[in-house]
C-alpha cells in the first residue's frame, strides 16, 4: 500500500558517458570541453560568447559559493526562464538554503566538492523532489571565477 510519500533519489557522477546524456547536456558538456584548456577552467564570458549559449541559456543556472570550503554559502546568481518555470519562483540572488530541501543542499555540497577536487563537470539526476514536479538531469560545470577565493559553476538543466 502506498503512503503517498515520494522518495527523493539523487545520483551524480564525474564519469560522463555521452551515450547517457540528452542532446542539451551533450552540447553543454562539449562546449565546456571546447572552452577548457589543460589546467585552466573556462570563464563565464567564454561560455557566453559561444555559438550554443543562446539555445542553452533558458536552461542554465549560475551558482556561486560566496563562502569558503569549510563554510559554504551557495547562491544562485542567475537562472534562465525554463529553470525559473521549473522551480516556480524567481531564483536570482536566492541562497540554495532557501530554495532546496536538505537533500538538495547536500547534493549541491557534494557536487561542489567534486568540482573543486576534480575540476571537471558532474552529471546529476534527481527524482522525487518535493520542490519540482519533474525528474531532472543537470550537468554542473566548474568555471573560472575572477576572485580565486570563490567558486562558480554553470548548471544546465534537462527535464
Domain architecture of the chain: domains with CATH: 21-158 (3.30.450.20)
Residue 38 confidence (pLDDT): 86
Residue 3 confidence (pLDDT): 43
Residue 9 confidence (pLDDT): 62
- Give the separation between CA 75 and CA 73, rounded to whole angstroms: 6
- Average pLDDT of the segment spanning 113-119: 91
Q: Which three cell numbers stand for residue 104?
A: 538538495
Residue 128 confidence (pLDDT): 83
- Average pLDDT of the segment spanning 119-132: 88
Consecutive H or E run containing 136? strand 136-143
In this predicted model, what pLDDT tens digit does every residue of 9-59 receive, in sequence order?
667 788 898 888 999 999 999 999 999 998 899 999 999 999 999 999 999
| Percent of residues, the chain, with pLDDT higher than 70 | 94
Residue 2 confidence (pLDDT): 39
> Which comes out higher in pLDDT, residue 19 or 154?
154
In this predicted model, what pLDDT tens digit does every residue of 63-106 receive, in sequence order?
999 988 788 899 999 999 999 999 999 999 999 999 998 888 89
What's the chain's average pLDDT? 89
Residue 8 confidence (pLDDT): 57
- Average pLDDT of the segment spanning 119-146: 91
| Percent of residues, the chain, with pLDDT higher than 90 | 66
- Give the separation between CA 78 and CA 21, rounded to whole angstroms: 24
Instruction: Name, in order, each residue with C-beta under 8 angstroms of 152's C-beta and a sequence gap of 6 or more.
Output: 44, 62, 63, 64, 65, 142, 143, 144, 145
Amino acid at each position: 500500500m502506498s503512503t503517498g510519500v515520494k522518495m527523493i533519489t539523487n545520483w551524480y557522477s564525474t564519469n560522463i558517458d555521452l551515450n547517457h546524456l540528452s542532446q542539451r547536456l551533450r552540447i553543454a558538456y562539449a562546449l565546456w570541453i571546447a572552452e577548457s584548456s589543460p589546467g585552466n577552467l573556462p570563464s563565464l564570458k567564454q561560455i557566453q560568447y559561444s555559438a550554443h549559449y543562446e539555445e542553452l541559456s533558458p536552461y542554465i543556472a549560475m551558482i556561486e559559493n560566496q563562502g569558503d570550503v569549510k563554510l559554504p554559502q551557495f547562491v544562485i546568481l542567475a537562472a534562465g526562464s525554463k529553470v525559473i518555470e521549473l522551480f516556480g519562483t524567481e531564483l536570482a540572488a536566492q541562497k540554495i538554503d532557501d530554495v532546496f530541501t536538505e537533500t538538495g543542499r547536500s547534493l549541491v555540497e557534494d557536487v561542489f566538492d567534486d568540482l573543486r577536487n576534480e575540476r571537471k563537470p558532474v552529471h546529476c539526476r534527481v527524482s522525487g523532489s518535493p520542490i519540482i514536479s519533474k525528474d531532472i538531469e543537470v550537468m554542473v560545470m566548474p568555471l573560472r571565477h575572477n576572485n580565486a577565493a570563490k567558486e562558480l559553476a554553470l548548471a544546465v538543466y534537462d527535464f
